[in-house]
Amino acid sequence: MQQYNLAQRYICGLLAVMLLGFASCEKGPDFREFNYPAPVIDGLSPAQGYVGSDVTITGADFGNLTKAVKVYFGGVLADTIRSVEDNKIVVQAPENGVSGVIRVEIFGKADTSGTAFTYLPSAKFIAVSADKAMKGDKLTITGENFGTDIAKVQLFIGANEAQVTSVTSTQIEFVVPDVPSGTVYIVVDGQRLTGSYLMVGMEKLTGTLIGHTGSWSNSPATTIAAAVDGDIATYVDAATASGFVGYDMGVGKAAVIKSVRFVPRNTFGSRMVNGEIRGANDPALSDAVTLYTVTAAPPSGVYTEVAITNTESYRYIYYYAPAGNCNIAAIEFYGNVVEKADPVGKYIWEFLKEGDNEGWVPQQSASWTVSGGALNVTFPQTSGNKRADLAQKTTSPVVVHTGTFPVIAIKMIGKPEGARITFDTNLGSFGNGYNKYATEYAGQNVYYWDMAALSIGAGAPRPNEQLSFTTFQFKIADIPQADPATGYKVEWIRTFESKEKLAAFLGL
Ligand SMILES: [Ca+2]
């Protein structure tokens, strides 16, 4: 009866196709209702596998309605049927399935496999030995049931395969290739397991520590050094509400930050809210750019990691806290160091580091100190006119460019009233005389020379030209004995692209 019914169906279907509807199927009253045959299982492949493995069941009379097919692994219904053909079902071994025979049920009719399907212990991904690595680094994945056959193990970082160097049941070792960062995946004997995100090609950024001075109640334990001591129990506690801590990458260098991680002072996470990760290229940090702002209190006792999307490079990288005494227990910057030479003619001489005159040497045997952010010069003369020139001795030659950085400015506090200041070079003085500086920013104690517009010595101005000077000095002379000035202070000497850039730097 069943076989006859099936044959009828096939013949009808065949006729319908062949005759394109010119013939209709004659069916007796006995055959009007659908009457499915019972499925028949012939075999399983593979006979063993893992949770999630695809198992192919061969046989007959499976129909083609995926939704009608139910497959049980040891009595547990599989939730994913990949495909159904009349003689083949592909099904995923369910997570809670049990080793044993497989049962296929279609519209209430069923068959059971003659052989059992055996669940193998599934591989488990526990951890990667690092979350940041450089190409060529050897890393280890720990886990379970990796087997011992290296040929059955593949490892990917994102879409890119990495070379597996050894496999044991609980460890896979691999070499980090030169590929972009990505999620680590392993495929163990067909099992695809997802691990953690691996940042590739970035290093921990370090440099000279920069930041606010001092600490709350002058505690030696809570200076800026506490942020980078690798100990999350120690913390920074600034003497004032705002503060900052980070690194100067050094002369000719800059950092592209890709990631920052930090820990707040224990139980004071709220004090980091509105704190910023910043980058700057000016030693005065006047051109600082905010790379990230902390918007929620980070948890205590653990690192919170944030990605930085800005791809510019900065010589100075730091955490800035507008309030909360810069309470931070740890900060680490990750990314890449790049070479970043200043453009020709750009100079920034600052006197921020105690004792460092940045090559500017007071002449006429004047005594000097660098402290309080200034080069402090004391005139040596005990009678007659006073004088103490300021000459650049370390950078030689000084190469200026009157096209790109034509303005040179000096911030001098307490410029002696009667001083004659000559900006002098081995090619002659700019403006060919003394006091050829512009005075429009004298209110800010800033005096500047436009090197493109002024003559050099008796010659003509030399605009838009690269000029090399072996003598580069400010003659600060002819101060009458009666002038009460005993010296002067210089906070900085800088070149600028234009007068407007100077004004902007001055906040005007
Ligand atoms: Ca610390």
Q: Output the CA 228–ligand 1 centroid distance in Å.
A: 6
Domain-terminating residue out of 290, 305, 339 = 339
Handedness of CA 449, 451, 454, 458 (dihedral sign): positive
Nearest Cα residue to 471 out of 406, 363, 409, 397: 397
Whole-number Å distance, alpha carbon 234 to ligand 1 midpoint, is 4
Q: How far is the CA of 199 from the centre of ligand 1 (A)?
A: 24
Neighbours of 32 (CB within 10 A): 8
Report the separation in Å between the CA atom of 331 and the middle of ligand 1, taken as the mean of its atom positions. Answer: 8
* 440: CATH: 2.60.120
The Å distance, Cα 272 to ligand 1 centre, comes to 15
The parent domain of residue 317 ranges over: 204-339
257: CA distance to ligand 1 center in Å? 21
Return the pLDDT at 286: 86
> Are 81 and 210 found together in one domain?
no
Q: Are residues 366 and 490 in the same domain?
A: yes
Query: What is the pLDDT at residue 34?
Result: 59
**Which residues are CB-neighbours of 133 under 8 A, at least 6 positions away?**
139, 176, 198, 199, 200
Distance 284 CA to ligand 1 centre (A): 26
Do 312 and 255 share a structural domain?
yes
Asked whether the beta carbons of 57 and 104 are under 8 A apart, the reply is yes
Which of 99, 119, 139 marks a domain boundary? 119
Shared-domain flag, residues 21 and 61: no
Q: Let me know whether 229 and 183 are in one domain.
A: no
155 and 56 in a single domain? The answer is no
Tell which residue, 478, 427, 435, 483, has the closest CA to residue 455: 427
Instruction: Print pLDDT tens along the chain (508 aa).
Output: 344 444 444 444 443 344 443 334 444 455 445 577 899 999 999 999 999 999 999 999 999 999 999 999 999 999 999 999 999 999 999 999 999 999 999 999 999 999 999 999 999 999 999 988 999 999 999 999 999 999 999 999 999 999 999 999 999 999 999 998 889 999 999 899 999 989 898 889 999 999 999 999 999 999 999 999 999 999 999 999 999 999 999 989 999 999 999 999 999 999 999 999 999 998 889 889 999 999 999 999 999 999 999 999 999 999 999 999 999 999 999 999 999 888 899 999 999 889 999 999 999 999 999 999 999 999 999 999 999 999 999 998 999 999 999 999 999 999 998 999 999 999 999 999 999 999 999 999 999 999 999 999 999 999 999 999 999 999 999 999 999 999 999 999 999 999 999 999 999 9
The span from the CA of 464 to the CA of 484, in Å, is 41
Q: 359 C-alpha to center of ligand 1: Å?
A: 35
Distance 263 CA to ligand 1 centre (A): 8
Number of helices and strands in the chain (H, E): 2, 39
Q: Both 106 and 184 in a single domain?
A: no
Check which CATH number belongs to the domain holding 43 and give it.
Answer: 2.60.40.10
In a shared domain, residues 314 and 248: yes
Q: Ligand 1 mean position to 3 CA, how many Å?
A: 81
130 shares a domain with 115: no
Query: How many angstroms does the Cα of residue 316 sit away from the middle of ligand 1?
Result: 20
Domain boundary residue among 182, 200, 218? 200
One domain, residues 367 and 473: yes
Supply the CATH number for residue 279's domain. Answer: 2.60.120.260
Give the torsion sign (CA, 351, 352, 353, 355): positive
Residue 299 backbone class (left: φ over 0; alpha: ψ -120 to 50; beta: rest): beta
Q: How far is the CA of 230 from the centre of ligand 1 (A)?
A: 6
Please tell me whether residues 355 and 294 are part of one structural domain. no
Task: Kindly give, in sequence order, each residue whose CB lies less than 8 Å from that of residue 304, ignoring residues fewer than 6 positions away.
Answer: 261, 262, 263, 298
State the distance from the centre of ligand 1 to the C-alpha of 181, rounded, in angstroms. 28
Q: For residue 76, how far is its CA from the centre of ligand 1 (angstroms)?
A: 53
76 and 208 together in one domain: no
CA 103 to ligand 1 centroid distance, Å:
61
Concatenate the DSSP letters of all residues of 126-170 into one string.
EEES-SEE-TT-EEEEEEE---S-GGGEEEEETTEEEEEEEE-SS
Number of domains comprising the chain:
5
Positive or negative CA dihedral for 223, 229, 234, 235?
positive
247: its two tokens:
């690194």
Q: How far is the CA of 126 from the centre of ligand 1 (A)?
A: 29
